[in-house]
Copies of this chain bind each other. A is one copy, B any other.
């Protein structure tokens, strides 16, 4: 909540009525009052588009029929009126094309994940990002959680010693039945390769697990051995994935991502073990970080401003005293706040996943699929396959 004059002007592509993720982005962006909504192209459906604009209080003149018109029209506005940041919350296949054009038109971009549909596309986008003055941010929301930063800090500072074992899992249940066939819009496009990309579950949530593991472990996954499955008849893309992996520093690991774990909600979870101790964090109870060690009882580090045993990076991402739960929207708001700081101050973006996370995620998906389809046990996960 800040006065309007000082805010960054923001536009949306996607996020019309009925689209959960657009609403979440607007709430997260609103939390700290750094942004003002000035325009949007919310839906291909003109009625939805118009209604969304009205509901959000936009003048009709800045509610555009599509993103191409929006980019052109906003570019034509005076500098102090036009959109500064474009938020992309469309289905996957539009992420890269829109981001490229918006960056080339001089806007900052904050995109839903994945950055692109495949590795070739994301590498092309990376070149655009690199050549553009605007910032590019990727909504890997889980990397905005303060206790994820605390875990990373503890790994990096050697609290649990040399890493030996990483277990990251993301079991969901919401695709246990044929949601797409039953008309669920969000399930629908996710199962169409041309809209969603080559990976189903592995792309949708496997990349979250993957990014979390590399972020907290602070080292890359180098090799993997994967298996994908389709458990619901009629589905085109995988709804279930699991793999063994090896990290650069010698740790072995397991990654599980599934959308047919009936009854599970969203318990993304990571455990890391070193030669001195272990850490455990679970998204459904994000304020707690469990720290086990060889020479003392289990400790639970709890989120909360002012807790002296938390690192600076974690403390900066908290808003409330201990015992006042913060959640998913606050994590996403942390990304928006850091992105606003970079835009407002004209500095480098710090604390927000960027195109490099997008590239890494695409390389991951392609490596998994290659391994799954091939005969070789292990596949090297490289930037360029």
Contact = CB atoms under 8 A, between A and B. Distances in A.
Given A37-B33, A261-B165, A284 B171 contact: no
Nearest to A33: B30
Contact of A225 (B160, B173, B225, B298): B225
Nearest to A58: B3
A2 B36 CA distance: 7
B285 A297 contact: no
A235 interface: no
A125 B263 CA distance: 43
A345 to B, nearest CB: 14
**This chain's copy number in the assembly:** 4
Nearest to A324: B328
B319 A329 contact: yes
A160 B260 CA distance: 12
Contacts of A287: 284
Interface residue range, chain A: 35 or more
Contacts of A326: 325, 327-329
Contacts of A297: 291, 299-302, 307, 309
A55 B298 CA distance: 36
Interface string A258-284: 101111111100010111111000011
B27 A165 contact: no
Given A5-B57, A243-B244, A320-B328, 9 more contacts: A1-B30, A165-B171, A165-B261, A225-B244, A264-B323, A295-B308, A320-B327, A324-B328, A326-B327
23 contacts: A1-B35, A2-B55, A2-B57, A3-B57, A27-B31, A27-B33, A27-B319, A173-B292, A177-B275, A225-B244, A225-B377, A232-B275, A258-B273, A260-B273, A262-B276, A263-B277, A265-B321, A265-B322, A296-B309, A297-B300, A300-B300, A319-B329, A376-B377
